Structure 1
Amino acid sequence: MRFIVSLLFLLLSASAISAPKANLWPYWQQYATTNSQTVDHGRWQRLLDKYLVVQPSQTLFRYGRVTDSDKYELDRYLRDLTKLDPHQLNRNEQFAYWVNLYNAQTVKLILDNYPVSSITKLGGFFSFGPWDQQVLTINGKTLSLNDIEHRILRPIWRDPRIHYVVNCASLGCPDLQPEAFTASNSERLLEKSAARFINSRKGVNPQSGNTKISSIYDWYGSDFGSQSQLQKHINQYRQGPPITLDKIRYDYNWSLNDAK
C-alpha cells in the first residue's frame, strides 16, 4: 500500500510539472470598445489591507485571522464579480477583473480548507491542487482557475508577466500584490511584480557554479522564449550585475504563504 501511495504521489507531481499550455477559449475574447463601465474592487482591497503582510523578501497572508464577517465580504465580492458580464468591459477592465478574480478565489479556497499546509493538498486524493475544479460560474459557463489563467489570461494578453501576478498561495509563487488591480494601475503592477520576483531569491538566485531560478521559467518556458530571451527578460528587471543562464537549476516551494 505504501508503494502504491508513493507511486501515485510521483505521478501526480509529474502531472503538476507538465503545466497546461495556453489554449484559447474563444468565447471570452469579446470585449467592449466604447463602454466606460468600471468594476469596484474595493472589497478585495480592504481584505488585502487587513490581512496581507508585506515583508522585504516575501508576502504572506493572515489566513488564520480572517473573521467570519470578512469571509462574507470576500464571498460577496466574488459573487458580485461573477454576476458581471466581462464582455461588457473594455480590455483593461477585463484584465484587472480576471487577475483579481483569480487571486480572490484562490484565497477563498484556502480559507474554506484552512488550516492546510499547501494548496497542493486541495482538490481531492487524485488531484495535485484545486486548479481544475469548476469553482466559478460566469455567463452560465463554469470555470476553473486553470481556465482563467491558461484559457483566458495567457492566450488573450500574451504577456509573460501574467505569471508574476496570479498567485497560487505558495511561498515559491510570485507575491500577491498589496494593491487590487484596476484598469489604470495594471501596467505599473505588472512591472512591479516582475521586478520584485526576479530580485527575490525564490525568483532568481545566482549561486557559485550555477543560477537557481524558479520552476515557473521551466513550466512556462514557451511564454518566456529561448534561453537567451529569458536571460534578457531577467536582466531587464534585475538589480545588480547581469546574469547568464549557462548553468541553471529550478526550484519551487509549495508551502502555504501563511502568516502564522
Structure 2
Amino acid sequence: MKPLLLIVSLLFSTFAWSAPKSELWPYWNQSNEIHQEQISHQDWQQFLDRYRVKQGQNALVRYQAVSTEDKAKLKHYIKRLEQLNPLNYSKAEQYAYWVNLYNAVTVDLILDAYPIKSITKLGGLFSFGPWGDDVVVVNEKSLTLNDIEHRILRPIWQDPRTHYAVNCASLGCPNLQPDAFTSDNTEPLLEQAAREFVNSNKGVLVTNNKLQLSSIYQWFAVDFGTEQQLLQHLDLYRTQPVTNTHKISYDYDWSLNQANERSR
C-alpha cells in the first residue's frame, strides 16, 4: 500500500502545481452591447450578508450555520443563472455573471460536502479538487469551474485582477468580496480586492531578507508578466513598496475558509 500512497501523493502534488492555461472558448466571446438590462444577484448578496464574515486578514464563510432554506435559495440562484443566456448581455454584465456564478457554485460544492477540511478533497480519486468536474449547464453546454475561469474569464477579459475576484474557498485564496459583482461595481470591487490581497500576508509577505508571494503569482505568471512587471503590479497596490526581491518563495494555504460561530 505504501508505494500506491506515494504515487497518489505525487499525483496530487503534480495537480496542485499545474495551473490550467488560458485558452479561449470562442463561443463565449460574443455579447449584445445594446442590451442594457442588468442581471439580479440579490440572492447571492443576501447569502454574503448572512454568512461571510471578516476575521483578521481573511474573509471566512460560516458554512456550518447556513440554513436548509438558504442552501435551497443558493441552488435556486445558480439554477436561475444557468437558465439565462449571458451572450444576450453586455460584456460588463457578463463579467459579473461569470464571477458570481463561479463563486456561488464553489460555496455550493462546499456546502454539499460539508464538513470538509479542504476543497482539494473534492473531485474523484485522482483529482485535486472539483475544478475539472461539470458543475453547471449554460446554453446547453456543460461547464466546469476551470472552463469559467480559464476558457472564459481569463482569455476574454485578460485582466490579472480576475485572480482576485474568483474564490476557491481556501485561506490562501484572495478573499471572497462582501459585495456581489455587478456591471456597475466591477471596477472598484476589483481594485478593492487587489489592494486587499496584495497588502495581506497571504499575498505578499516581507520578512527580514526574504520575500514570500502567493503561489498565484507563480501559477499564473503569464497573466502578470515578467518579474519586473509583477513587482510593478504589486507596488501599484502596496502601501509599502516590495523589497528583497532577490529571494522569492511561494506559498499557498489550501485550508477551508471556514468561520467558527464566534466569527460573526
TM-score range, shorter chain: over 0.9
CA contact (8 A) 2:118 2:254 kept: yes
Equivalent residue number for residue 175 of structure 1? 175
**How far 1:55 sits from its partner (Å)?**
2.5
**How far 1:241 sits from its partner (Å)?**
3.7
Which range moves more in the overlay, 239-248 or 94-103?
A: 239-248
Equivalent residue number for residue 11 of structure 1? 11
**SS of aligned partner of 1:38:** coil
* CA RMSD across the alignment: 0.9
One-letter amino acid of the counterpart of residue 181, structure 1: F
Provide, for residues 149-199 of structure 1, a one-character-per-residue CA deviation record: whole Å limited to 9, x for no partner: 000000000000000010000000000001000000000010000000000
CA contact (8 A) 2:211 2:247 kept: yes
One-letter amino acid of the counterpart of residue 215, structure 2: S
Structure 2: how far apart are the matches of 1:17 and 1:159?
A: 22
Q: Which runs of 5+ in 2 are unaligned?
A: none
Structure 1: how far apart are the matches of 2:135 and 2:203?
A: 29
> Identity percentage over the alignment?
53
One-letter amino acid of the counterpart of residue 151, structure 1: R
**SS of aligned partner of 2:250:** strand
Provide, for residues 10-53 of structure 1, a one-character-per-residue CA deviation record: whole Å limited to 9, x for no partner: 22221221100000000000101200121000000000000001
Which range moves more in the overlay, 111-120 or 50-59?
A: 50-59
**How far 1:242 sits from its partner (Å)?**
3.8
Equivalent residue number for residue 205 of structure 1? 205
Structure 2: how far apart are the matches of 1:84 and 1:241?
A: 44
**How far 1:244 sits from its partner (Å)?**
4.7
Q: Which runs of 5+ in 1 are unaligned?
A: none
**SS of aligned partner of 2:154:** helix
**What is the TM-score when the length of structure 2 is the normalising length?**
0.97
Provide, for residues 186-225 of structure 1, a one-character-per-residue CA deviation record: whole Å limited to 9, x for no partner: 0001000000000000000001121010000000000000
Equivalent residue number for residue 31 of structure 1? 31
CA contact (8 A) 1:54 1:178 kept: no
Structure 2: how far apart are the matches of 1:89 and 1:221?
A: 31
**Does residue 120 of structure 2 align to residue 120 of structure 1?**
yes
Paired residue total: 260
Equivalent residue number for residue 224 of structure 1? 224
